[in-house]
Amino acid sequence: MLRLGRREFAPHEPVIMAIVNRTPDSFYDQGATFRDEPALTRVEQAVAEGAAIIDIGGVKAGPGEEVTAEEEARRTVGFVAEVRRRFPDVVISVDTWRHEVGEAVCEVGADVLNDAWGGVDPRLAEVAARYGAGLVCTHAGGAAPRTRPHRVEYEDVMADILDRTLGLAERAVSLGVPRESVMIDPGHDFGKNTRHSLEATRRLDEMVATGWPVLVSLSNKDFVGETLDRPVKERVLGTLATTAVSAWLGARVYRVHEVAETRQVLDMVASIAGHRAPAVARRGLA
pLDDT digits (tens, 9 = 90+) for 126-151: 999 999 999 999 999 999 999 999 99
- pLDDT tens digit sequence for 216-253: 999 999 999 999 999 999 999 999 999 999 999 999 99
What average pLDDT score do residues 245-274 get? 98
**CB-based contact 77:108 (threshold 8 Å):** yes
Which amino acid is residue 161, in one-letter code? I
Q: How far apart are the C-alpha atoms of 111 and 151, rounded to whole Å?
A: 36
Q: Supply the DSSP string of 128-172, one letter for each residue.
A: HHHHT-EEEEE--TTPPTT----S---SSHHHHHHHHHHHHHHHH
- pLDDT tens digit sequence for 172-183: 999 999 999 999
Nearest CA-CA partner of 222 in 211, 234, 213? 234
pLDDT at 30: 73
- pTM attached to this predicted model: 0.96
In 10 A of CB 100, how many CB atoms?
17
pLDDT at 31: 80
Q: Tell which wins on pLDDT, 30 or 155.
A: 155
Q: How far apart are the C-alpha atoms of 143 and 36, rounded to whole Å?
A: 31
What average pLDDT is seen over the chain? 97
CA 98-5-119 angle, 5° bins: 25
Rounded to a whole number of angstroms, the distance between the first and last alpha carbons of the chain is: 40
Q: Give, for 112, the enclosing helix (H) or strand (E).
A: strand 112-115
Q: What is the DSSP letter of 58?
A: S
pLDDT at 71: 97
pLDDT at 7: 97
pLDDT at residue 211 above 80?
Answer: yes
Q: Tell which wins on pLDDT, 205 or 27.
A: 205
Which amino acid is residue 156, in one-letter code? D
Q: What residues contact 266, with CB distance under 8 A and at least 6 apart?
A: 14, 16, 243, 247, 254
pLDDT at 29: 78
Confidence at 28, pLDDT banded by 50, 70, 90: confident
**Of the ranges 49-53, 268-272, 281-285, which one carries the lowest mean pLDDT score?**
281-285
- pLDDT tens digit sequence for 43-75: 999 999 999 999 999 999 999 999 999 999 999
Q: Is the dihedral of CA 277, 7, 33, 83 positive or negative?
A: positive
pLDDT at residue 286 above 80?
Answer: no
pLDDT at 27: 76
Q: How far apart are the C-alpha atoms of 89 and 42, rounded to whole Å?
A: 16
Q: Tell which wins on pLDDT, 207 or 65.
A: 207
Nearest CA-CA partner of 179 in 101, 139, 125? 125
pLDDT at 25: 84
Q: How many H-runs (helices) and E-runs (strands) does the chain carry? A: 10, 10
User: What are the phi and psi torsion angles at 54 (to 5°)?
Assistant: -110, 120
pLDDT at residue 202 above 80?
Answer: yes
pLDDT at 1: 87
Confirm whether 35 is a catalytic residue: no
Give the pairing type, strands 134-138 and 112-115: parallel
| From 203, 221, 235, 252, active-site residue | 221
| From 255, 263, 276, 282, active-site residue | 255
What average pLDDT score do residues 94-100 get? 98
Confirm whether 255 is a catalytic residue: yes
DSSP bridge pairs for 138: 185
